[in-house]
Amino acid sequence: MKELQVTARCKIHDGKLDAFRAVAQECMKSVREKDDGTLQYDWFFNEDQTECVVCERYRDSEAVMQHIANLGETMGALLETCDLSLEVFGDPTPELIDATKALPTKVYGSFQAFD
């Protein structure tokens, strides 16, 4: 399975909602203008806007690596506004696993059953 799904969970720091929203806009702009392997990139807030979940889908591990590289300094700005954790669904390459090791990341490998 080459395609990957990623769930990014953001717990927004107190008093940082406006800054978080501004950085989120920059992330979305980067995806629109620079990424070519991002298939889904949707942001959802809970009711009191203290948490945000980003549902992401990528063509493959290389597309995720491109996304990370394209975000560049924007990722640092995001981490100043929230605590971020990741859930990766699929079979990421060792390079991608290494690239995300600084963040709390859970990987769920694919399981395919055939009757």
The residue behind tokens 């203008």 is 33
CATH number for the domain whose boundaries are 4-108: 3.30.70.100
Identify which of 89, 95, 92, 82 has the alpha carbon closest to the alpha carbon of residue 108.
Answer: 89
Asked if residues 67 and 6 have their Cβ atoms less than 8 Å apart, the reply is no
pLDDT digit string, tens, across residues 90-108: 999 999 999 999 999 999 9
Question: Distance between CA 30 and CA 51 in Å, rounded?
Answer: 21
Question: Distance between CA 25 and CA 19 in Å, rounded?
Answer: 10
- Written as six digits, the tokens of 35 are 């990424």
Amino acid identity at 79: L
Strand locations in the chain, DSSP E?
4-12, 38-45, 51-58, 82-89, 105-108
pLDDT at residue 115 tops 70: no
The reported pTM is 0.92
Q: What whole-number percentage of the chain has pLDDT above 70?
A: 97
pLDDT digit string, tens, across residues 51-80: 999 999 999 999 999 999 999 999 999 999
Mean pLDDT of the chain: 95
Domain chopping of the chain, boundaries? 4-108
